Every structure is written in structure tokens, then in C-alpha cells.
Amino acid sequence: MDSYETFEYDVLVVGAGGAGLRAVIAAREAGCSVGVVCKSLLGKAHTVMAEGGVAAALGNMKSPDGMNEPDSWKVHLTDTFKGGAFLNNPRTVEIFAKEAPDRVLELEQYGAVFDRTPEGLIAERPFGGHKYRRLNHVGDRTGLELIRTVQDKAVGVGMSVHMEVTLTRLLKDGDRVVGAFGYHRDSGNFVVFRAKAIVLATGGWGRMYQFTSNSWEGTGDGLQMAYEAGAELLDMEMIQFHPTGMAWPPGMRGILVTEGVRGEGGILKNNKGERFMFNPEYTPPLYKGQFAEDAAEAARWLDDKKNNRRPPELLPRDVVARAIYKEVEAGRGTEHKAVLLDVTHRGEQYIKRKLPSMYEQFHALGAVDITKEAMEVYPTIHYTMGGVWAEPEGCATTVPGLFAAGEVAAGLHGANRLGGNSLSDILVFGKRAGEGAAAYAQSTKLGTIDSSQITAELGILMQPLGASEGENPYKIHQELQENMQHDCMIARTEEGLTRALNKIQELKLRATKLKVAGTTAFNPGWHAARDLRFMLNTSEIIVRCALQRKESRGAQWRLDYPSLDAEWGKKNLVATKDGDSILIKERPLAEMSAELKAIVEEYK
């Protein structure tokens, strides 16, 4: 171990998106030395892709009668439970809804410059599944604002930033996580980190699908490192299909079209020009009567949100994604197997002011002028509700010394995440994870690392470079993507999932023998080899959980079990490593307190 470059910190934060950087700030303010590892350059993490806003019940918006919308953490909590089909961890949701407003206001103090209301407060926009206007935003580039803000603040409080380092294994001392091992992307040199506590903030995993809004980073390495270290993974079948990904041109397929377009009045149409979301069968019972039932009311809502109900385009994401899927399957899609999203009625000036980056994205990348033409959209893999179980108070995982926050963690969103909740999630639980890790670090010493762990990891990492024969990792990755896209997408069946599982097992076997040219120095082929193994195991866990949950709930839509099942609604699925196999257990969902039950009853 002495032969590797080694760094020591009280707290090591893995991942430098919003959750990671917010954890850095918290751990520093608690007095710890902090190192942060970014897979890319600082400030490029997936948080920049968030567009619509950060959900927090500030209650800044006024109705035409001059009264403020009666928003509160209680309504936000209720909306989050409803959106998540009640699979959420109740205490996690409670903390989240209560603390989100403070975390957003704090961003202002750090330097974020949100859009303003006429009264000079932070402007909030409507979004899917949120009863009131609640998405605090900066045009349609809220994620960029958020990451730059916490980045600048974290730089200000002081940290050691390790850019372009990929970690591939957590190192343990007995049961406890005490370090991490990985490589510098540019030089290919290996590096060891020793820390008293580690915060995992590595984001989600969408790259095993063909059409995804995720960047190259979304390969699930953080998730798999935690799994390898013995952490419990929760609700892994729950993967969000964002209803509106770009469907055309081909190179842009899957890139996100913000829900803000619908929040600003965008309407969905099929190839017959029908506004299909008005079809009553698309509105789930829980939301009956809460949405506009004709175009006239939906149009009035744009200017008077108090006396009119929201357009059905603003139903939660899982609902809208299923409706789009059904329209296209019924032959009512466009020639590119998509539906149309039209916001032209809001006028050129309004669109350019409220949705500038969408305008630019379609104009520059797709040669489409969204002020004059409709966009072609289709669901895209967007977000992972499932992940590493982290208790809500200090975000500790089930492995001592390991904490998790943000998309890699699970518990908050249940079976489906509401738009805008991810950005407040990373602030609320990024802070708590930083504090939790700091408190743990202050109560312990650095551990010792047995170097056999590093030797084992090196064996896996180096196999493809020395190989005289073997497969191209890109080829296997492509087959995995086709497999997951086809058989573990939005509509799932026992038959399809079983086929997916068999295919993954075949690919896993083939992936033990890979061959890559070149050296360890900035070699994307070599990186792809390790990423592939992470993605294969993640895919297997997803498919196994999807097979086991025999009901339709939130993002899990089983054609062979099309209804909600009350019994399944009381259970989470927990996946852990059991030797070489994946152990999946059913666990009773944490009980909601009487106080929270009463709140949900009142506001649902």
C-alpha cells in the first residue's frame, strides 16, 4: 500500500455534485478536514442538468386576489408521499419537507441569484405533482445555479479537490469503511484515500439504458462500491422515466426536456392533434377531480391558479410517462415514435425568457424553433429513486463509517420522485450527511487497511489491459443497453424481465474476459471495462427486484400485475451482497406516525 499515493482526511466526500459539495460545506463547518473526489472536473456533475427548479414550500406566490398561496411543509410532505405512491420513508420525507425552505434560502446567502417575484422574493413555478407553485428557479438552468453556488461556497470554506479521480473500491477495517481506492483519469496512476468517515454522493445510474438523460458518469460505481462493502440497497426496481426526453434528432435521443415546459403551460398532443392527457383513464384515482378536465380551464389556469385546476400534463412523472407510452403503442405517435410537446401558444418572448436553455438546446442541436414548432418527446431514463439505504437523521448507511446522500441514497422518493424534489433532497441530506460524517469522524481514528483488498481490485482493473484475447467492453455495454431498454423499461412483464435476467447473466460471464488496447493513461476503453462490471451487477439487481415486486406502483409498471397491491404497499425490497449472489429480502415499510397520518389526511 505504501507504494501508492495516499491522502488522509477526517471526511472524504465521494462525488462533487450538489449533495457532495453541500456535505463538504457541512463537514468543514463542523471543523473537519475534508477531501472531495470528483469523477470529472469540479462543477461538471450531473446537477448541472437539472433545469426546472428546487422544490421548497416558501409560499412566495400570490393569486390574482393578492393572497399568498397557502403552501407549507405539510402540503409539500403530502405531495411527496402521493407522488411516491406511499413507498417513501416517512421520517425522511418529514425532515425533507421541513428543512427544504431553509436550505434554499441559505443558497441565496451563498450567492445563488434566483428569478424574482414582483415583490422581490424568490419566484416559484408550478410543477408536476406539486399542489402549489413551489419550484424556486432560475429560468431553466436551476441546476447550474445550484452547483455553482455550492461549488463557490465549498471553495470558500476550504477543501482539497481531487479532480478526475475514479474510485472503484471502498476499503475496510473489519466492518468499518476506512478508505477508498481508485485511479487518476489522466495519468492512470492509482491512489489511496484514508478517512475517518466517507460520504457517498455519487449520483444515479442510467447508462445501462439506451436512451437516458444521464452522462457517461452515471454507471453506478458509488452504488456498487457500497454494495460490495455490505450496504443495503433499497427499492432498486424504482427507476424514473422522465416523460419528456428529446426523441429527435437521433444523436439527441434521451436528452432532457424540462418539466418546466409543462409548468409554463406546454401541452402534450398525439399525432391526431388530440390533447391526450385529458383522457380520464390516464388520471389515477388518487388525483381524480384535482386536475382541469378541458382545455378552457387549463388555459384559464395560466393566469388564475386559484380558481382553476392544473392541466393534467402536470400529473406526476410516472403517470405522464405511461400515458405517452400508451399513446405511441396505440399507434398515435409521430414517425419517430414520439408525441408532441407544444408551448408555442406562450409566445416567443415569454418562451425565451422562461425557457432559454430549452430554446437554445432545440435551436442549436435539433434545428427546431420551439417558439414556432412543437417538440418531439418520449420518456427517457432520468433518475433512480432506489439506492443505498441511509437513515434520515445523519444519513448513515448500514455500514459503519459510510454515509450516503442525494440520488445514490434511497428512502425519500418512494416509487416515484416529484420534479424539483431532487434538488432540495441534495441540499437537505447533503448537509445532514456532512454533519453525520463529521460527528462520526470526530469520535474515531483512522483505521488500518489490509492491502489484500487493493491487490484484489488491481486484478479486476488490470485484466483487460494485459489480455491477449477478450471482448470489447463497448460491445457488451451496447448489448446491455439494448436488453435493458427492451425488457426492463417502462412496461414490464415476467417474461421480459426473465429474458433480461438471462441476458445479463450471459453478459456478466462474457465481461470476465475483456480486452482493451493502450495503457492506463486517459484511456476511455479501459474506464469502460470497470464501469461495465458495475453496470451489469446494478442491472441484475434492478431486474431481480422488478421481478419480485408483483404489482404496479409508481415507476414499477407490471403489465401482468397492473394494479396497486395493498400488501406490496407495506413492503420495501432490500438487496444485499451474499457471497457471490444477490440476496433480496422483503422488509416492512416504516410506519407513519399518527401526526404525519393526520397531515396527509388533511392535505391529500
Partner 1 sequence: METITLRIFRGDASGGKLVDYKVETFPNMVVLDAIHSIQAEQDSTIACRWNCKAAKCGSCSAEIDGKPALMCKTQVHDCKGDVITVTPMRTFPLLKDLVTDVSWNYRMAAKIPPLTPRADVAGSPFNMQQIDVDRVQEFRKCIECFLCQNVCHVLREHERTDAFFGPRQMVRIASLEMHPMDDLNRREQLKGEAGVGFCNITKCCTEVCPESIHITDNAIIPLKERVVDDYFDPVRKGLVALGLIKKSKKAPLNSVPNDLTKIIV
Asked if 462 is part of the footprint of partner 1 (rule: CB under 8 A), the reply reads no
Q: Which of 76, 134, 262, 382 is catalytic?
A: 262
In angstroms, rounded to a whole number, what is the distance separating the alpha carbons of residues 387 and 126? 28
Residue from the set 26, 57, 197, 255 that interacts with partner 1 by CB under 8 A: 255
Q: Which residues in 525-551 are b (16+ Cβ under 10 Å) and which e? A: bbbbbbbbbbbbbbbbbbbbbbbbbeb
Size of the site for partner 1 (CB under 8 A): 74
**550: phi then psi, degrees, rounded to nearest 5:** -95, 65
Counting contacts by CB under 8 A, is residue 349 touching partner 1?
Answer: no
Which C-beta is closer to partner 1: that of 189 or that of 505? 189
Q: CA 413 to CA 405: how far, in whole Å?
A: 13
Cβ distance to partner 1 smaller for residue 25 or 93: 25
Q: Is 122 in the site for partner 1 (CB under 8 A)?
A: yes
Q: Is 531 in the site for partner 1 (CB under 8 A)?
A: no
Integer Cα distance of 56 and 96 in angstroms:
9
Place of cell 407513519: 592
β-pairing, 160-162 vs 34-37, is parallel
Is 284 among the residues that bind partner 1 (CB under 8 A)?
no
Residue 379, preceding peptide bond in cis (omega within 30° of 0) = no
Sorted by sequence, the CB contacts under 8 Å of residue 48 that are 6+ apart come out as: 143, 144, 147
- Is there binding between residue 485 and partner 1 (CB under 8 A)? no
Q: How many CA atoms lie within 13 A of 179 on its CB side?
A: 24
Which of residues 24 and 323 has its CB atom nearest to partner 1 in the complex? 24
Is residue 273 a contact residue for partner 1 (CB under 8 A)?
A: no
If the CB atoms of residues 284 and 525 are measured against partner 1, the closer one turns out to be 525
Binding status of residue 498 toward partner 1 by CB under 8 A: no
Q: Among residues 148 and 577, whose Cβ is nearest to partner 1?
A: 148
CA-based nearest residue to 68, from 76, 59, 77: 59
How far, in Å, CA of 596 to CA of 93, rounded?
10
* Distance of alpha carbon 321 from alpha carbon 329, whole angstroms: 12
Measured from the CB of residue 144, what is the shortest distance to partner 1 in angstroms? 7
Q: Provide, rounded to whole angstroms, the least separation between the CB of residue 357 and partner 1.
A: 7
Tell me whether residue 323 or residue 536 sits nearer to partner 1 (CB atom): 536
| Min separation Cβ 171 and partner 1, Å | 19
Question: Does 322 participate in catalysis according to the annotation?
Answer: no
Longest Cα–Cα distance of the chain, Å, equals 75
Backbone angles phi, psi at 297, to 5 degrees: -65, -45
User: Judged by CB under 8 A, does residue 478 bind partner 1?
Assistant: yes
Contacts to partner 1 from residues 25-84, by CB under 8 A: 40-46, 48-49
d(CA 18, CA 602): 33
Interface with partner 1 includes 341 (CB under 8 A)?
no
Q: Rule CB under 8 A: is residue 144 a binding residue for partner 1?
A: yes
Helical ranges in 181-220 per DSSP H = none
Dist CA 324 CA 308 (whole Å): 25
Tell me the HSE value of 181 on the side-chain side, using a 13 A CA sphere: 23
Q: Is 216 in the site for partner 1 (CB under 8 A)?
A: yes
Tell whether residue 523 is a contact of partner 1 (CB under 8 A): yes
Enter the C-alpha cell of residue 449: 487497511
Copy the grid coordinates of residue 475: 460491445
Per CB under 8 A, does 520 bind partner 1?
no
Q: Contact letters (x/-) for partner 1, 543-582, by CB under 8 A?
A: ----------------------------------------
Write each residue from 308 to 337 as x if it is in contact with partner 1 (CB under 8 A), else as -, in one continuous string: ------------------------------
116 in contact with partner 1 (CB under 8 A): yes
Stretch that binds partner 1, among 209-217, 408-416, 424-432, 444-452 (CB under 8 A): 209-217
CB 76, CB 55: distance < 8 Å: yes
Provide the terminal-to-terminal Cα distance of the chain, rounded to the nearest Å: 56
**Stretch touching partner 1 by CB under 8 A, among 147-155, 427-435, 497-505, 565-573:** 147-155
User: What is the smallest separation between the CB atom of 572 and partner 1, expressed in angstroms?
Assistant: 32
Among 295, 296, 330, 365, binds partner 1 (CB under 8 A): 365
Is 486 considered catalytic here? no
Residues involved in catalysis: 242, 262
